[in-house]
Structure 1
Amino acid sequence: MQRKWFQYWFNSPYYHILYQQRNDAEAEFFIDKLTKYLKPQEDSKMLDIACGKGRHSIYLNKKGFDVTGIDLSEQSIKYAKQFENNKLHFLVHDMRKLFYINYFDVALNLFTSFGYFDTEKEHVNALKTFRKCLKADGMLVLDYFNTAKIIRNLNSCEAKSLDGITFNISKNVIEGKIIKKINFEDKGKIYNFEERVQAFSFEDFERMLAKAGMIIETTFGNYSLDNFDESSSDRLILICKKA
C-alpha cells in the first residue's frame, strides 16, 4: 500500500525544522482556557490524538491529568517519550484505528491535526474511533483552522530560511483541499514535500460528526475561546459529545 504524504512528511527531520517556531506559550494558554471551560475532574483521563512532540500532552500532565498521546510519526513519539511518567504515555498509533473503548473523559485533536485523508468516509471512521474511546459523558475537542479565512487570505508563495535551508512554499486550493507544496535544497539534494488538508467548513464537521454519532455542543473561534465568526475567526474549535 502506498504511503501517504503525512507518513513521509511528519516523520522527516525537515518538518521539525520548518515548524520549530511552534509556540508553547500559545499552546499552554489554550489548554488553560480549555480546562477552565471543560472543568474536568482531577483524575480525568485524556487522549491527545495526533499529539506531535507532545507539547499539549506534557502541559496537561503538569496540570495533574492522566494523559495518553498518540501520533503516527515515530520521530515525534520518540522525542515525546523522554517526558513520560506514570500518568503520561506516548504511543505510535493511527487515529483511524480503534484504541481503548469507553476509557477517556476528554479526547483532543488540536492544531489542525485532521483533514489529512482522501475520503469523507475515512474522516467519519476516524471520528467514530474518537467517539468509541470516550466514556458516555466524555467530550471531544477538535481544533481546526477556519477554512473560509485561510482561503480568503491564501498567500500563494513565500520563502522561509531556517537552519541554513530556504523552504519555498506555495499554497493552492485544488478539489476541496488546501495544498501546500514545500520545496528546498539541502546538502546538494533537492526535496519536495506537500501537505494536503481538506477545506472543511463548520457544516462539513456537523455532518461528519452526526454520521459518527456525535453532536457539537459549543463552537469557539480562537484560543481565547471567543465566539466563532466565519468571516474573522482564526480557528474553528468544536466541543463535541456523544449523541
Structure 2
Amino acid sequence: MTQSTQQWYASWFDTPYYHILYKDRDYAEAQVFMDNLTNYLNIPEKGKILDLACGKGRHSIYLNSLGFNVTGIDLSEQSIAHAKQFENETLKFDVHDMSKPYPDTFDAVFNLFTSFGYFEDESCNLSTIASIRDALSDFGFGVIDFMNVNYVIDNLVPEDVKTVEGIDFHQKRSHKDGYIIKDISFEADGESFQFQERVKAFTLEDFEALFEKAGVHLLDVFGDYKLRKYHPQTSERLIMIFK
C-alpha cells in the first residue's frame, strides 16, 4: 500500500457512508457556479477542462453536457470506477494524484468545493498548484474554489447530529493547529465508525504565497458562486482565478 492511500481522505472518501452523509449537497447551486465560471472564463466551445478531485464525477458530467471536453481525476478508485460508466468521446475519468503532473494540457483546470489542503505533507500543496500550472495551455486558467476560512471559523457549529438514510452522523468541528477539523462518528450495518476530515485553514494570503512560489499570477478573487466580490469576513467562499 502506498503512503497516499493511508491518508484520511483516501479511506473516508472511499466508503459509501461519505456519499450518504453528503448526498443532499446543493447541485443546482453548483451548476449555476459552473455556468457562471465557464462564461466568465470564456472557455472556447469544445474547450478542454480538467476537473481535479472530481469525486464521482457529477460536475465533470455537467460541464461535459455544456459542450466541453472534460477529464475528471480523483485519488479514490471507487469514485472513479463509478464515474467511468458516464464516459463518452469527450468525457473521461482517471485515478490520479492531483499533486502529480497530469500528462495533458487544458483550457481550464478546476479544483472545486474545497478539495484542496488535505495533504499531511505541506509540499504537496505547492506541487498541486505547480501541476495545475503545468496543465494549462498558453491561454488557460486555473481555478481553486476553497472555503473562506475566516467565515467558517466565525460560523463553526461545534457539534450536531445529521440523520441520513437512518444513520445518525455525530459531527464535531474545531479549528486546531492551522486545520479545520471535523470528527464524524456513527453506527451503521452493526458496526461503529469514526472518521476525521482535516483541511488546512488556508487564507487568501496563504494562497498568494503558494502562487508566488509556483510562479502563477492571481487574476481575480470571488466570494460566492454568483462570482460576487470577495469580502474577507463575510464571503462564504474563496474562489481564485490564476494563470
2:225 partner SS: coil
1:147 equivalent among 142, 145, 149: 149
User: Matches of 1:76 and 1:45 in 2, distance apart?
Assistant: 21
Partner of 1:211: 213
The TM-score normalised by the length of structure 2 is 0.96
Partner of 2:91: 88
1:12 equivalent among 11, 15, 22: 15
Deviation at 1:74, TM superposition (A): 1.4
User: Matches of 2:45 and 2:229 in 1, distance apart?
Assistant: 27
Partner of 2:241: 239
Partner of 1:135: 137
User: Matches of 2:97 and 2:122 in 1, distance apart?
Assistant: 17
User: Matches of 2:41 and 2:35 in 1, distance apart?
Assistant: 10
1:60 equivalent among 63, 83, 91: 63
User: Matches of 1:223 and 1:70 in 2, distance apart?
Assistant: 22
2:233 partner SS: coil
User: Matches of 1:92 and 1:56 in 2, distance apart?
Assistant: 16
Structure 2 stretches of 5 or more lacking a match? none
User: Matches of 1:148 and 1:119 in 2, distance apart?
Assistant: 23
User: Matches of 2:20 and 2:138 in 1, distance apart?
Assistant: 40
State the number of aligned residues: 240
Within-5 A mapping of 1:37-48: 37-48=40-51
User: Matches of 1:107 and 1:203 in 2, distance apart?
Assistant: 21
Deviation at 1:36, TM superposition (A): 1.3
Deviation at 1:66, TM superposition (A): 0.5
CA contact (8 A) 1:27 1:55 kept: no
Q: Give the aligned CA root-mean-square deviation in angstroms.
A: 1.0
Partner of 1:198: 200
2:207 partner SS: helix
Structure 1 stretches of 5 or more lacking a match? none
Which 10-residue stretch deviates more, 65-74 or 182-191? 182-191
2:178 equivalent among 176, 179, 184: 176
Deviation at 1:235, TM superposition (A): 0.2
User: Matches of 2:131 and 2:76 in 1, distance apart?
Assistant: 19
Partner of 2:39: 36
The superposition leaves residues 66-88 of structure 1 with CA deviations (integer Å, 9 ceiling, x where unpaired) of 00000011121122111110000
